[in-house]
Amino acid sequence: MVSRDSQYFLLLNVGHFLDHYFMLIFATVAALALSAGWGMTYSELLPYGAPGFTAFALCSLPMGILADRWGRDRMMVIFFFGIGLSSILTGFAQTPIQLGIGLLCIGIFGSIYHPVGLAIVTARWKHTGMRLAVNGVWGNLGVACAALITGFMIDLAGWRSAFFIPGVVSIFFALPYRNISREVEAQPPLGGLAAEKPSDYGPLWRVLICVYMTAILGSIVFQSTTVALPEIFEERLVGLADTAANALTALKLESASVIGGLAFLVFALASLAQLVTGLILDRWGARPTLALVTILQIAAFLMMPGLDGLAAFAVSLGIMLGVFGQVPVTDFLVGTTASKISRSRAFGARYMVSFLAFSGALPLIAIVQAKWGFDMLFYILMACAALILFLSRALLSAPKSANYQPAE
């Protein structure tokens, strides 16, 4: 018999999956269906998705404030219902303006999840580092599955179904979440990071500087690597991809398909690094964990320039292991630092900063790659990782054994 707490955590994970999934439906629909169906180029369609991504970032803090005041579980019910209904309405769009309005609504309701869902996870359970890591893997699966499932739905029933079906699924989860959260709310928390006590990592202002600087720099590194990796593989793994395609002639694969598969493999394997990060967080805390993942990034970025073929693939995996492994650390710090009554707004501010920093990655990639190539991008990202390492060592105190007790 699955406990109510397990069902509660599962629904929170489903919410993280859906949140990232909904935000990426449009990219696949625009590329595979609307360009031809509406007689618009991909570049002409993309601006209609921009307001949704902007709202996804800017509304995180207001949603966190609202959740702290009105109730986090209530906001999660609104999330499931609101993002699902918005997706269904987007599927009825007849013009680009209507499509953009629908995507804006998806972004507004999508902004609820990170400040609210993560505040719940860090407030309730033991092994908070591992809980955050598992929750993060579900979010990564949403990113990974969005293009795959959306493409399948487009082929099967048209692009509108790619918005209709997930919308109905999300609304379906709203009522179970409401019922289970009410039952769980009456039970005491099971040892999350909710104590009303000073931070174990030093003065609050120093911890917050570290959190937000890590969020900004880490977001630039994360977005730059995840966006650029397929193009990096296209540039540096052509020989390896051709060899693999020739070896798999029975499957009739082209080199582009092999490169896409290699990129997916790296992302899938690297996302599992979050589970290792979660285990280390629960045992040793944020300071050594952050040092470990940033040192891995620095070493891999330093080795990457000039590599191609199998060596480039192996080092790219090392880069992504460090990049994905860093994600739960900042959330762990927010959960450790923020008080119970202000935790949602703290997560809201953290994700507003992160998602706004994401937007700076695309022009960075475009300018640096055009003028100096990817090797210069690797050095710039290495500098970002080195700055994160320096800031974390300078700003975060090592928890004393007397006042730091890992979750059990």
Residue-range domain boundaries for the chain: 4-185, 204-395
Q: pLDDT value at position 260?
A: 62
Token pair 């909904």: residue? 22
Q: pLDDT value at position 295?
A: 94
With the CA atoms of 373, 375, 380 and 381 taken in that order, what torsion angle do they form, in degrees rounded to the nearest 10? Answer: 110
The backbone region for 158, taken as left when phi is positive above 0, alpha when psi lies in -120 to 50, beta otherwise, is left
**Distance from C-alpha of 206 to C-alpha of 128, rounded to nearest angstrom:** 22
Which pair of structure tokens corresponds to residue 234? 């296209």
Do the beta carbons of residue 320 and residue 267 sit within 8 Å? Answer: yes
pTM: 0.77
Name the packing angle between helices 113-124 and 343-371 (round to 10°): 120
Per-residue pLDDT of the chain (408 residues; tens, 9 = 90+): 567 778 888 999 999 999 989 988 887 787 677 777 777 776 677 788 888 888 888 899 899 999 888 888 899 999 999 999 999 999 998 888 998 999 999 999 999 999 999 888 887 777 778 888 888 889 888 877 877 788 788 888 888 998 999 999 999 999 999 988 887 765 555 555 544 444 566 677 788 888 888 888 988 888 788 767 777 777 777 665 555 555 555 444 444 556 666 777 787 788 888 888 888 888 888 888 899 999 999 999 999 998 887 888 889 889 989 988 888 888 888 877 776 777 788 888 888 888 888 777 767 777 887 888 888 989 999 999 999 999 888 877 766 544 444 444
With the CA atoms of 382, 384, 386 and 392 taken in that order, what torsion angle do they form, in degrees rounded to the nearest 10? Answer: -150
**Distance from C-alpha of 83 to C-alpha of 95, rounded to nearest angstrom:** 20
The backbone region for 407, taken as left when phi is positive above 0, alpha when psi lies in -120 to 50, beta otherwise, is beta
| Identical fold, 4-185 and 204-395 | yes
Q: pLDDT value at position 196?
A: 43
Q: pLDDT value at position 403?
A: 44
What architecture does CATH give domain 4-185?
Answer: Up-down Bundle (1.20)
What architecture does CATH give domain 204-395?
Answer: Up-down Bundle (1.20)
**Alpha-helix runs per DSSP H in 92-203:** 96-110, 113-124, 128-157, 161-185
Do the beta carbons of residue 150 and residue 162 sit within 8 Å? Answer: yes
Which pair of structure tokens corresponds to residue 389? 């390492």
